[in-house]
Amino acid sequence: MSELSEPQNSESIPNTFKVYGPFSGTFAPPPALPDDYFEPTTSDLKIAQTQLAARTQALTNAPLQLRATREAAEKAKRDRWPTTTIRIKFNDGTQLEKVFPSTDKIKSIYAFVRNSLQEQVKPIKFILYQPPRRDLKVSDLKVKNLSLAELQLAPSSVLLLRFEDESLNGSNVPAPLAAEVMALAESLPAPPAQADDKPSESSTKKVGNILQAAVGEKKVPKWLKLGKK
């Protein structure tokens, strides 16, 4: 964990955080997968059908969940994850990481990021978001009044950042972080190398793809109808 001792401005620079510079290495391409890897087996279809039915039932019953039950579930989350690790990723790949109490609001993350920026950039507004389209705006009442746990950010989440000034959003634009912050930058660990062995079939991945395709279709897919026989 990076620590600043006696910073010039204790209010402007956080004293406990991590900084990761952009990854400068190269990623090894994954091994080619055989065509039959993407063909769901009978077992995959049955698992997908069961999980899809359970998901549909959960969505149907969600409005009927008692308030006390919801509050108990939220308390269980808070007890299980008292802290939340947030990593903010800039467009050039630079990343800031800090641990917050899970009871904190989103404004704490905004304050941390803003205090880490260069002085001339601090007045420029920015938005923290999760792809594809989940903006976590402080001005949004549905966001600002919820804790990090209630925002489903615990126990850890990666947030992206975009400035209102588009000139700061290019992938070739260095993250406008204060020099004192960038001086603490570490290198991101290289991703693990892919094994040369022929990849084994993963039912979990297949089922995930099947469910994603099923949710996107309004009608029941033909293969799912066949699986019911």
Could you please report the per-residue DSSP string of the chain? -EE-SS-S-TTTS-SEEEEEPPP-S-PPPPPPPPGGGGSPPHHHHHHHHHHHHHHHHHHHHGGGS-HHHHHHHHHHHHHH-SEEEEEEE-TTS-EEEEEEETT-BHHHHHHHHHHHB-TTTTTS-EEEEETTTEE--TT-HHHHTSBTTTTT--SEEEEEEEESSGGG--TTSPP-B-HHHHTT-BPPPPPPPPPSSPPPP-HHHHHHHHHHHHHH-SSPPHHHHHHT-
Q: Per the domain annotation, does 182 fall within a domain?
A: yes
Q: Per the domain annotation, does 169 fall within a domain?
A: yes
Q: Per the domain annotation, does 84 fall within a domain?
A: yes
- Which tens digits make up the pLDDT trace of 91-101? 999 999 999 99
- Which tens digits make up the pLDDT trace of 156-185? 999 999 999 999 999 999 999 999 999 999
Q: Per the domain annotation, does 155 fall within a domain?
A: yes
Q: Per the domain annotation, does 74 fall within a domain?
A: yes
Task: Show the domain range for 157.
Answer: 1-22+70-186
pTM, entire model: 0.61
Q: Per the domain annotation, does 53 fall within a domain?
A: no
CATH code at position 175: 3.10.20.90
Q: Per the domain annotation, does 81 fall within a domain?
A: yes
Say how many domains are in the chain.
1
Q: Per the domain annotation, does 206 fall within a domain?
A: no
